[in-house]
Structure 1
């Protein structure tokens, strides 16, 4: 008999985020949370202010607040984003509500930012995913 995985509640998500990112601003509501925090993918990288919105049981939504994400010369759009420049961090089904945001979405966001910085210089998206052109 398989025991079903239990979804991580927003309180548990907030607790894990606070443990990982003590300086984060976390607003907790009954069934959702918003966390604003800074990430720096590498010591040579810029610091990014990021907002993570999460409603219990749904896929999280992540956007970079500052600095604004820029297009490289000749590009018409940012790679691996959804409308409104929300970050595409995983394929459908890769993230589940049983997973902690601190263990998945936060490191995936940092990784996305690293690939974004590489894309700005080289024009090639090295982050994988689906339907991503190799150069713009």
Structure 2
């Protein structure tokens, strides 16, 4: 059986799909790049985040939280599921392909990431899939000496 090659979705269509779901989204397609800024609130109890999505065909979409600045859990030394450049790690390799709409995949996955991030700030445990990023418990002896 021969499979049909997947066609990348036009960048203008990607932006239109994002703006159909989030009319407040600000975006532009220029020289083969899509750059879009959106505000997301994973649930009514969560903060509102401003997120920047950049995408170019044959590349992975890049997502970065630009406001507010991401904080560390008090006992953590690094943010979980974030690449060294600050882009969010949202999916496993091969899980996203360029025939998928960003509005139906990357943006919901970003909301899910933000929800896991807020829970991690409170509990110190990353509840999402992927690598475990549980923060080690506080040293009770050190706490009692204070």
TM-score scaled by length of structure 1: 0.94
Question: Who wins on radius of gyration, i.e. which is larger?
Answer: 2
**Is there any run of 5+ residues in structure 1 with no aligned partner, and where?**
none
Matched, 1:113 2:96: no
Query: Would you say the 8 A contact 2:38–2:51 is kept in 1?
Result: yes
For 2:123, the equivalent position in structure 1 comes to 122
Q: What aligned pairs does 1:1-136 form with structure 2 within 5 A after superposition?
A: 1-129=2-130, 131-136=131-136
The 1-side partners of 2:134 and 2:77 are apart by: 14
The 2-side partners of 1:22 and 1:65 are apart by: 19
The 1-side partners of 2:6 and 2:86 are apart by: 32
Runs of 4+ in 1 over 4 A off after TM superposition: none
* Greater mean deviation of Cα atoms: 68-77 or 28-37: 28-37
For 2:144, the equivalent position in structure 1 comes to none
**Deviation of the 1:98 alpha carbon:** 0.7
Question: What is the aligned residue count?
Answer: 135
**Deviation of the 1:28 alpha carbon:** 1.0
Q: Which has the higher strand share?
A: 1
* CA-to-aligned-CA distance 1:45-95 (integer Å, 9 cap, x gap): 100000000012211000000000000111000000001321000011111
For 2:141, the equivalent position in structure 1 comes to none
Secondary structure of the structure 2 residue equivalent to 1:65: strand
The 2-side partners of 1:132 and 1:45 are apart by: 22
* CA-to-aligned-CA distance 1:93-128 (integer Å, 9 cap, x gap): 111011110000000000000000000000000111
Query: Would you say the 8 A contact 2:52–2:65 is kept in 1?
Result: yes
Query: Would you say the 8 A contact 2:75–2:135 is kept in 1?
Result: no
